[in-house]
Amino acid sequence: MRKILFAAASVTVLAACGGAGDGSEGNATGNQSSVSSSTGEAQDVTVEVGDDFALRLQTALIEATPGSTITLPAGTFAMTDGLTLDVDGVTLRGASQSETILDFKNQMGSGEGLLVTSDDVTLTNFTVRDSKGDGIKSKGADRITYSDVKVEWLGEPSEENGAYGIYPVESTDVLIERTHVRGASDAGIYVGQSSNIIVRDNLAEFNVAGIEIENSSNALVNGNVVRNNAGGILVFDLPDLPVMGGNSTLIRNNLIEDNNTRNFAPPGNIVASVPSGTGVIIMANDRVMVRDNNFANNQTAHVLITAYSQAFSDADYNPLPRNIEVRNNTYGESGYNPQGDLGEIASLVGGNLPPIIWDGVTSWGGNDETDVNIFIDEPASVGFVNLGLGSYPIDVSAASPSMDRPDGESIGNMPTVTLAHAE
């Protein structure tokens, strides 16, 4: 793993509010020792409330020993620089999401709130608020755990917010559980170019994309509440990245509702094209199963299956979704106010769109048509449309919509995701 060398901690603090956050408790004075540590090879550290909290926290992260725990107190702590951790086996633990808040609203620069570049790290029981860049990013951090943390941008959704809330990338064995992410201008929970991933029991709301699995393999997205985003759960594979060929994602037992927030992504971002009101979008990925979810009130569509629509030059990239299975879900109202290009296409099928939509693209760049194997195993009462677009860019006049379901076959059992560091 590539390591980052730190010359010094250059973090300053504007203020620190102790106790339950109002500075009224007795241990919230500014005359405390900076840390207290236990004996033994792994030096556990408690960062006390008081002056220079941010500087002392960054120092503790730099000087941590493998296997140690850094404990944060209750309080709201103003940070003016991002934090970094590059020591293996460290646990960073607060009092709870609601009690320990690292507030980055006056952060200098545009970096992450917290950047982790080491293995076997656990982040738990604290909040990162209003970071200028991503909330918490981990890169090349194998066996990382995000548990009971919160990342949020307060106020109305804004393109000025950081892009990603929780952002592991280029990692193996990723666990994200019981987190709460709100207000990201790209994706609330984003896992990219990684393998062996569990995203479970989280709340993602008021982001552009609630949860995104991109260019990754062997992912389980289970038991989450995904609401009030522009798009709920996205499974993408994009060209020109170091890791491609995303495959084997199971989206199961999630509540995916009310994802009708306007798309507030900065122009040019890939998610800026996500139509507000989509529950699940599968784009250019292989072996994706959507089952046993509860969909409700997504104004464009509950499930959208689509090819990658932009020009690309990577000869090894396959822009088509293939081996996609949708079954045994519960569907509430959808398609009553379709957005983006789908709004224009809706006029071809009577104005409203059915819950499940496939763009119908089966070839690209002059290649022969491909059997992409789309399998819809839902009752006949659940509407479906193949838009019959043929190719990109979209020519609405050339669309040939059909309500006939594709003659696909089940993709069978999905691989069990087993993490080396978690049940």
Across 71-75, 93-97, 118-122, 340-344, least confident range: 340-344
Q: With 50 as the cut, is the pLDDT of residue 149 above it?
A: yes
Task: Please give the pLDDT value at position 351.
Answer: 85
Confidence bin at 12 (pLDDT 50/70/90): very low
Q: Look up the domain containing 188 and give its range.
A: 153-398
Which of 3-7, 397-401, 406-410 ranks highest by mean pLDDT?
406-410
Residue 422 lies in a domain: no
Question: How many domains is the chain built from?
Answer: 1
pLDDT (mean) for 125-150: 98
The reply to whether omega before 267 is within 30° of 0 (cis) is: no
Task: Please give the pLDDT value at position 26.
Answer: 32
Residue 137 lies in a domain: no
Residue 414 lies in a domain: no
Residues 7-23, buried b or exposed e (16+ Cβ, 10 A)? eebebebeebbbbebee
372: DSSP letter: -
Residue whose token pair is 């959808």 = 334
Secondary structure of 76-110 in HEC code, one letter for each residue: EEEECCCEEECCCCCEEECCCCCCEEEECCCCCCC
Query: Mind giving me the DSSP string for 352-371?
Result: ---SEEE------TTPPP--
Residue 411 lies in a domain: no
Q: With 50 as the cut, is the pLDDT of residue 33 above it?
A: no
Task: Please give the pLDDT value at position 20.
Answer: 34
Q: What percent of the chain has pLDDT over 90?
A: 78
Q: With 60 as the cut, is the pLDDT of residue 183 above it?
A: yes
Q: With 50 as the cut, is the pLDDT of residue 23 above it?
A: no
Report which residue type is found at 99: E
pLDDT (mean) for 127-143: 98
Residue 265 lies in a domain: yes
Residue 346 lies in a domain: yes
Residue 410 lies in a domain: no
Task: Please give the pLDDT value at position 41.
Answer: 77
Across 70-79, 134-143, 271-280, 360-369, least confident range: 360-369
Conformational region of residue 292, where left means phi above 0, alpha means psi within -120 to 50, and beta covers everything else: left
More confident residue, 9 or 310: 310
- Residue 45 has which token pair? 């550290």
Across 26-40, 148-162, 369-383, least confident range: 26-40
Residue 142 lies in a domain: no
